[in-house]
């Protein structure tokens, strides 16, 4: 049976509808994951949940141990991963509150442990990353969005920046010229490491704010929290419909 994992980002450190059965502390060859792995059931199906930034939301994006997180999920037999992420909207059609299922990504991060293939190799390994998200998982998320009746966009390019600071208006202008629709801080190397582990991984992005220079005044945490609160309610509805789709009869 295929096992589903949910990686929760900012605004999603727990899932109220998850019937928790146990929490498991794991140790990996890459160090410690962000926190305990939470096992439970949703809609009668087995689900594993991991808070990307830790249960207390204390781990900044550039300090997340992406390799350890994904190794732990792989070790538990996870095959499919839904990664929830809070992002900023760059294009006019990506306003705060929007749910987006991106299909492409551009990596602007640096200095992160971004691959499994760097030492004790028998040969140099290159992975195909033409389509960075698993099309099967994207299709399941899109189907769940449609079933829940939630307004969403089924494509877009996620620009992954280093953080933890937010971007300048000029940086966002450059990202838009590069073709980015969204900006976030955790999309890479999470997506590429998932591919190296041969995990079926896709992202559900919640637009929490306009990106820098796309609205009047500075970006505030009050604005972000307000949009995340309503956005995560929609994510919960998506999860309710998604879980059965990930476990075909």
Annotated binding site for phosphate: 10, 52-53, 186
Residue with tokens 């990664």: 83
Say how far apart CA 104 and CA 249 lie, in whole Å.
31
Biggest CA pair distance of the chain = 54
CA distance 224 to 208: 5
User: Which two three-digit tokens encode residue 248?
Assistant: 């075909």
SS3 170: helix
- Structural element, H or E, at residue 173: helix 169-178
Which residues lie across from 28 on neighbouring strands? 31
Residues 6+ apart with CB under 8 A from 182: 87, 88, 89, 90, 94, 100, 102, 156, 157, 158, 159, 205, 207
Binding-site members for substrate are 185, 209-211
Contact 235, 100 (CB under 8 A): no
Q: Which residues are annotated as a binding site?
A: 10, 52-53, 185-186, 209-211
């Amino acid at each position: 049976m295929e096992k589903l994992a949910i990686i929760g980002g900012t605004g999603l450190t727990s899932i109220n509808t998850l019937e928790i059965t146990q929490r498991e502390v794991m140790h990996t060859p890459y160090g410690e994951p962000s926190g305990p792995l939470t096992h439970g059931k949703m809609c009668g199906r087995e689900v594993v949940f991991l808070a990307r930034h830790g249960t207390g939301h204390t781990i900044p994006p550039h300090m997340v141990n992406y390799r350890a997180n994904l190794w732990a999920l792989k070790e538990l037999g996870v095959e499919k991963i839904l990664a929830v992420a809070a992002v900023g909207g760059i294009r006019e059609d990506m306003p705060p509150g929007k749910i987006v299922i991106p299909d492409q990504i551009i990596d602007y991060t640096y200095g992160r442990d971004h691959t499994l293939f760097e030492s004790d190799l028998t040969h140099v390994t290159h992975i195909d990353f033409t389509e960075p998200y698993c099309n099967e998982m994207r299709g399941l998320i899109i189907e769940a969005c449609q079933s829940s009746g939630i307004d969403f966009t089924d494509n877009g390019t996620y620009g992954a920046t280093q953080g933890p600071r937010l971007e300048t208006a000029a940086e966002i202008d450059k990202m838009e010229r590069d073709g980015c629709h969204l900006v976030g801080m955790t999309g890479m190397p999470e997506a590429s490491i998932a591919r190296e582990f041969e995990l079926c991984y896709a992202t559900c992005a919640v637009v929490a704010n306009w990106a820098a220079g796309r609205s009047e005044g500075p970006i505030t945490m009050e604005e972000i929290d307000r949009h995340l609160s309503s956005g995560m309610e929609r994510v919960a509805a998506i999860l309710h419909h998604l879980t059965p789709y990930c476990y075909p009869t």
